Structure 1
Amino acid sequence: MKTGVGMTHLKKTLINYQKPIVRITSIVGIILLIGIAFLIFESGFFNNPDRVQNWVEGFGSIAPLAFLGLTYVQVVIPVLPGNVSTVVGVMLFGIGLGSVLNIVGIFIGSLTNFLLARRFGRGFASYFVKQETYDKYIGWVNKGKRFERFFWISLVFPGFPDDFICLIAGLTKMPLKKFVFYFLLCKPITLFIYTLFAIYGMQFFYDLIQSI
């Protein structure tokens, strides 16, 4: 009985701290997003990308490992939109290494989300998202095969909160092997395509601004 009361108290405590944490991470994310956009344009990447990549290579193996760690943390504690970090990765390390670092970091982070949700339940799944997002997607937990279709669709198409949906997957009866299969089948190729679209889109706007 005491254990049940203790768990209830813990859940209430998490809910009390949830909104401030979501608010703080959102503000930090906006500030970082503006800062990253400024640094990208100021770095001269679009004029001379090799210069930026040579600068990164000067840090040796520390740079890719640090970026891999940041990508992992970004998935588990979503501060920046995922597409921002993937674009930065390709800009800094090139299409080959940058894409590998992106998918490895995102995969390990998504797998962590899946396992944490399976271990700690709905209270944890709601911790780092807005209540509206939680209410919108949590209903998929009990939809069985329909959730599996929704899961791979969310990995293929943009606009879905992938990190949170991986948390939801951990609350369902989806086997770990199936989660890994769907993720590795759908995410790498679509992530690569969307990242290139974003980079070329930024290049287009940069050239447009320069021509004005």
Structure 2
Amino acid sequence: MIIIISIIVGIVLKGWIDGKFSTIQTLKTYILEYGMFGPIVLTILQMMQVILPVLPGFFGCIVGASIYGATNGFWINYIGISLGSIFAFLLARKYGVALVKKMISIEKYERFVQWIQSKKSYTWVLFLSILLPLAPDDFLCYFSGLCSMSFKKFTWIIVLAKPWCILFYCLFFAYFI
């Protein structure tokens, strides 16, 4: 397991240090450098961009759709982003508020806490936020790990709500960009 984590961290750090995440074109070139392992690298990057937001998630959707087509790009992105979302939830559950406060500014953290506490049904808010594009999904995954939501409920929300936004991005970017 430590070897796998080291490889993942190495891939992400190499790309980040080399400036491969700054534009869609540099990310696309970076993924293509890995040849037949490109889909695995993109899946890892999409997973990691949820855990450590080093690039916007839609960059990966654009790159996946443009290189691998709408269908394969969708699955690569969906698997990576969903795994990253689940890991973010579990990390917050294990390491608590201290970790989440390190991931985002204290102002943003307090704003999210107030916003979440003002909602009557956080489950529906989370479902709709995950479903719709441009919501702060990554942060909501961390915050969900802090609240009393069960892992099973969170996972079902990711499984049922997450594919639609990713599918939209992949279809749009595969056929219109």
Smaller-chain TM-score bracket = 0.7 to 0.9
In the TM superposition, what is the alpha-carbon distance from 1:199 to its structure 2 partner? 5.1
Q: Which runs of 5+ in 1 are unaligned?
A: 1-27, 44-54, 204-212
Correspondence for 1:79: 54
For 1:127, what is the secondary structure of its paired residue?
helix
One-letter amino acid of the structure 1 residue matched with residue 35 of structure 2: F
Correspondence for 2:23: 35
The answer as to whether partners of 1:140 and 1:147 remain within 8 angstroms in 2 is no
The alignment's C-alpha RMSD in Å is 2.8
In the TM superposition, what is the alpha-carbon distance from 1:132 to its structure 2 partner? 3.2
In the TM superposition, what is the alpha-carbon distance from 1:85 to its structure 2 partner? 1.1
Q: Which runs of 5+ in 2 are unaligned?
A: 1-15
One-letter amino acid of the structure 1 residue matched with residue 137 of structure 2: D
Higher relative contact order (CA 8 A, sep 6+): 2
Correspondence for 1:114: 89
The answer as to whether partners of 1:33 and 1:80 remain within 8 angstroms in 2 is yes
Q: What's the TM-score once normalised by structure 2's chain length?
A: 0.77
Are 2:148 and 1:173 equivalent residues in the alignment? yes
Residue 39 and residue 126 in structure 1: after superposition, are their counterparts in 2 closer, same or farther (change >3 A)? Answer: closer
Residue 58 and residue 129 in structure 1: after superposition, are their counterparts in 2 closer, same or farther (change >3 A)? Answer: closer
In the TM superposition, what is the alpha-carbon distance from 1:158 to its structure 2 partner? 2.1
Distance 1:198 1:134 in 2: 32
In the TM superposition, what is the alpha-carbon distance from 1:182 to its structure 2 partner? 1.0
Q: What's the TM-score once normalised by structure 1's chain length?
A: 0.65
One-letter amino acid of the structure 2 residue matched with residue 73 of structure 1: M
Correspondence for 2:3: none
Q: Percent identity?
A: 32
Are 2:47 and 1:59 equivalent residues in the alignment? no
Q: Structure 1 residue runs of 4+, over 6 Å off?
A: none
Are 2:158 and 1:183 equivalent residues in the alignment? yes
In the TM superposition, what is the alpha-carbon distance from 1:84 to its structure 2 partner? 1.1
Q: How does 1:3-22 map to 2 (within 5 A)?
A: none
